A and B are shown apart, each in its own frame.
Chain A
Amino acid sequence: MEQTKELLVNMGPQHPSTHGVLRLMVKLDGETVTWCEPDVGYLHRCFEKLSEAKTYPQVIPFTDRCDYVGAILNEQVYVEAVEKLFGDAIVVPERAQYIRVLMAEFQRIASHLIGLGSAAMDLGAVTPFLYAWRDREKMYTLFERITGARMLYNYLRVGGLRNDLPEGIIGAETDGEDKAAETFWGFINYFDSYVVPQWDGLVTGNRIFQWRTMNVGRLSAVDAIAYGSSGPVLRGSGVKFDLRKNLPYSVYDRMEFDIPVGKEDGDCFDRWSVRMKEMEQSSRIVKQCLKWLAENPGEVMGKVPRVLKPPKGEVYHRIEGARGEIACYVISDGGPNPFKVKYRSPCFTHLQVMPLLCPGHKVADVIAILGSIDIVLGEVDR
């Protein structure tokens, strides 16, 4: 006799909403998910092994390619890790530090915009996604003017930056929307006055969106910590932990900003609103950086030997990336090539909460949960 049985559905690797090449194996009982398992590795590019054959600066362009949506942050963790290896031998100029923070926070806004936009598109709202894209293009035009490339910058160097900000890119504090793609102040003012209210009205405040995300994919604080999640996923579960505040690196200890957290038993909506609020906090940090940078010109590259040969040793450096805690572990054997470079990517860690969150929800919720933990497959597989 024929019996009903569970339906095994392969979502991906060519599924429209897996944010890249991710394969989600899902077992369905009707529309309800009973089992879910992510299968990664389709975008593996041997980053860690490859960097063993490269010199220290040559690794920097590869770090861009890990999380291509938040490239500067990945450069920052690697560069700061190598600087840490050198100890006091390399002093990074203060201006370079500030520009790094500025770029990192700006990148965080861009990255969150894309993360939120694609999460909204997974829920069926296409227009917010294109608004996200529109605003990110403006930011990328600014990035292009500074670094020469739109996505994969190769801008940070061990000991500083490749070049200073071009003249006039900071702009005046009164710059409005017409200068959004020309000056930092123009974009930040446009962002605060136009983009954030638009997102609040179009998506966050939308009842259908709230129906879709509230009480979906609840992750308790205990589980979030046990599964090693970080960044907006951890804070969405109500844990107030942000490396920028708790273990400040670079010049974050001089910045004023808050850590938005969700409620104790965070669902998809909490993670969403944490990201929304984080963008506003990033814009606050950017403003502080811009004010400082406008007043303090100077060098952006410290004194660095021509061939980088860090002393023997190992270092583990972690920063707050756009999706969570990015960390870099570098071992040096004293030669020009790193002995080992290890990346801790937040997306890889976050993917493992999928089997925990998905069972019991509908198929559509799998997509909502996947969107809410905001993964980039380049970083998952590296």
Chain B
Amino acid sequence: MGVNSFIGEAWRAGKSFVTGLNITFNEMVFRPPITVFYPDEKDDIPAWFRGIPLQKTDLLTGEYKCTSCAMCVEACPVNVITLEWHQDPTTKKKVADRYAIDMSRCMLCNFCIEACPFDSLVMGMDYELCKIDPENMVYEFEDLLRLGLKYSKAELPGPKVKNATPPWVFAQLTGATEADIQDENGFLGRPPTGKGYTPALKPQFQKKEEAVAQTAPHEGQAPAAPALTKNTPTQTAPVNANPANVSAEAGPAKPAVAKASETTPAEVTEVRPDQATNTETGTKDGGESK
């Protein structure tokens, strides 16, 4: 090896090292850390996050929405859903005895939510599901309902909307709690009752319900939704958020809003500004992000 190549190699090596050192130094001085201090602060969760499949409750009646049709059980690739049911002799409806998801084996593929024909399952955003004992990873029906409450809505009577945004797409975080269940007799995890059943609403809602029936002769949920919360200052925030979700859910949002504004402009104008914006965000990306 000649002296020239000796010096040349040293020069090239030195130059490349200085380039590298310059890069790391710039990263050190001019770039902020990207660390998220996890337990203290949490990263944003997108609206379509897949955390855990949960069961929804109808907040109007307190019934769970599952009809034990076992579509999710069939769709599950890893067979983690256990479903046992019996038929109620009076209402002839299926009543779930046990509905459990073994979250230690679930791979969060979303197939059960897509398979559900009654919009009963939702992919929740909860992701901190660790348990000390793996046996506790089996989420029973009550657990699923309780966790699913904050994605649940008050379903208003009316025809099912076809071609709506698929329910499994948006895990809407409505933030509802057990106190928001409208039926005062209703309790969490109550099986569906017969057709003739009219929910006994909590006293503060009863009049509003009648008022809705009187003032809104057009049969549509969209007008009913704002009316439900009209002039109800005592309501808590999560319930305030409900109408937005109802209207967002009522259809592929934009047409629904358009319809509402066409048919009953009065009610729509009565929606408070925050609710209006809620509705808009709801239509925009489908789920209000709390």
Contacts and interface: CB of A to CB of B under 8 A. Distances in A.
Direct contact of A and B (CB under 8 A): yes
Interface of A: 54, 57-62, 127, 131, 134, 137, 144-149, 152, 154, 162-163, 166-167, 198, 201-203, 205-208
B23 interface: yes
Contact of A202 (B20, B111, B169): B20
A54 B77 contact: yes
Contacts of B107: 61, 152
Contact of A206 (B20, B34, B77, B111): B20
A159 to B, nearest CB: 14
Nearest to B171: A148
Contacts of B24: 127, 202
A236 B34 CA distance: 34
Contact of B285 (A152, A166, A202): A166
Contacts, number: 72
Contacts of B109: 60-61, 154
A148 B285 contact: no
Contact of B20 (A57, A58, A162, A201): A201
B213 interface: no
A201 B50 contact: no
Contact of A148 (B17, B22, B48, B166): B48
Judged by DSSP, the binding face of A is helix
Contacts of A54: 77
A58 B108 contact: no
A147 B50 CA distance: 9
8 contacts: A57-B111, A58-B77, A145-B46, A152-B107, A166-B285, A167-B285, A202-B24, A207-B9
B277 interface: no
B281 to A, nearest CB: 12
Given A198-B23, A201-B19, A201-B20, A149 B13 contact: no
Nearest to A60: B109
B16 interface: yes
Contacts of B34: 134, 137
Contact of A207 (B16, B27, B111, B114): B16
A148 B13 contact: no
Q: Which of B12, B22, B24, B109 has the most CB of A within 10 A?
A: B109
B206 to A, nearest CB: 40
A61 B79 CA distance: 13
B17 A201 contact: no
Contacts of A201: 19-20, 22-23
Contacts of B123: 148
A167 B284 contact: yes
Interface in B35-92: 46-50, 75, 77
Interface string B103-121: 0000111110010000000
A148 B50 contact: yes
